[in-house]
Amino acid sequence: MALPVFGQLGVWSFVGLFRWAVVVGSLQLDRVGEAEQWLALTALNRADDVTEELLPSSAVLAEIAFARGETDVGLRQWRRAVDHLRNTSWTCR
């Protein structure tokens, strides 16, 4: 119920963080397909959103691969996530 309210207010960073939380929650409940659907939605409305810097989608893709038993794919995705974080310049705003 909160998601449409955040959207109407134009608070896209909250929308993005909320969607990420649902992705993680879906994975914890072993609802892999649902997690993938919500992950696709995190790409929407990212104009003022910095969550990709903090939560790279490659990390979630890695966890999805692990949930499906695709260990090699999961490890490759985690390496991408770590490389992304190493190459991100962190600034305080």
pLDDT, tens digit, 9 for 90 and up, residues 32-77: 999 999 888 887 755 444 555 556 678 889 999 999 999 999 999 9
Whether residue 2 contacts residue 16, with contact meaning beta carbons closer than 8 Å, is answered with: no
Q: What is the pLDDT, as a whole number, of residue 92?
A: 46
Whole-number Cα distances in Å, 75 to 15, 41, 44, 66? 29, 24, 26, 8
**Structure tokens belonging to residue 45:** 């409305």
**Ranges of each domain in the chain:** 2-86
Q: To the nearest 5 percent, what fractions of the chain are helix, strand and coil?
A: 70, 0, 30
Considering only CA atoms, which of 28, 23, 26, 31 is closest in space to residue 56? Answer: 23
Whole-prediction pTM value? 0.70
CA pair distance 64, 42, nearest whole angstrom: 15
Q: What is the pLDDT, as a whole number, of residue 62?
A: 93
Q: What is the mean pLDDT of residues 21-25?
A: 90
CA pair distance 88, 15, nearest whole angstrom: 22
Q: What is the pLDDT, as a whole number, of residue 54?
A: 59
